[in-house]
């Protein structure tokens, strides 16, 4: 997937992300929320505003650099807001936009499916040795 981030004329602070969105609606959705980290970030933001370090703690497998990149893409796509407070030390929070909140049913369905899959997988692994055929 070719994603490009173009800086606007106002000093590069505003970014427009033009993800490749020429296919079906599922491709469009995946270009916005696809990947390993974006759904996890969005799921945690369903609870409300979170600071960067709190997001990093909750998605501990992602590096801070990867979190920054994913957050920038989500912000450029209008899925999250980045709120910067004029404080020392700097304080930055992230929250879902209205468009981001519209993803809640998708994210909760993904969570439910994952829980069901885990239960099925664990029940198949536990003590069902008659069905396990060794070569």
> Is 67 a domain residue?
yes
> Is 105 a domain residue?
yes
> Is 25 a domain residue?
yes
Asked if the model's pLDDT at residue 10 lies above 80, the reply is no
Q: SS3 for 36?
A: coil
Q: What is the CATH number of the domain that holds 15?
A: 1.10.10.10
Q: Is the peptide bond before 89 cis (omega within 30 degrees of 0)?
A: yes
Summarised one tens digit per residue, pLDDT across range 32-69 is 999 999 999 999 999 999 999 999 999 999 999 999 99
> Is 129 a domain residue?
no
Q: Report the candidate in 115, 111, 100 with the shortest Cα–Cα distance to residue 29.
A: 100
Q: Which residue range forms the structural domain that includes residue 63?
A: 3-113
For 104, the token pair is 């809640």
> Is 128 a domain residue?
no
Q: What angle do CA 63, 73, 42 make, to 5 degrees?
A: 70
Which whole-number Å values give the CA distances from 59 to 38, 88, 91, 92, 100, in the listed order? 10, 26, 19, 17, 18
Which pTM value belongs to this model? 0.75
């Amino acid at each position: 997937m070719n994603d490009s981030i173009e800086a606007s004329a106002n000093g590069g602070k505003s970014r427009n992300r033009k993800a490749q969105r020429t296919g079906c609606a599922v491709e469009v959705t995946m270009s916005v929320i696809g990947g390993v980290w974006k759904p996890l970030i969005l799921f945690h933001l369903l609870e409300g505003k979170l600071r960067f370090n709190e997001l990093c703690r909750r998605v501990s497998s992602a590096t801070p650099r990867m979190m920054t990149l994913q957050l920038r893409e989500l912000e450029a796509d209008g899925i999250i807001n980045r709120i910067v407070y004029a404080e020392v030390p700097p304080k930055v929070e992230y929250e879902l936009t209205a468009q981001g909140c519209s993803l809640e049913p998708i994210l909760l369905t993904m969570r439910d499916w994952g829980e069901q899959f885990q239960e099925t997988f664990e029940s198949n692994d536990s003590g069902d040795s008659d069905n396990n055929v060794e070569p």
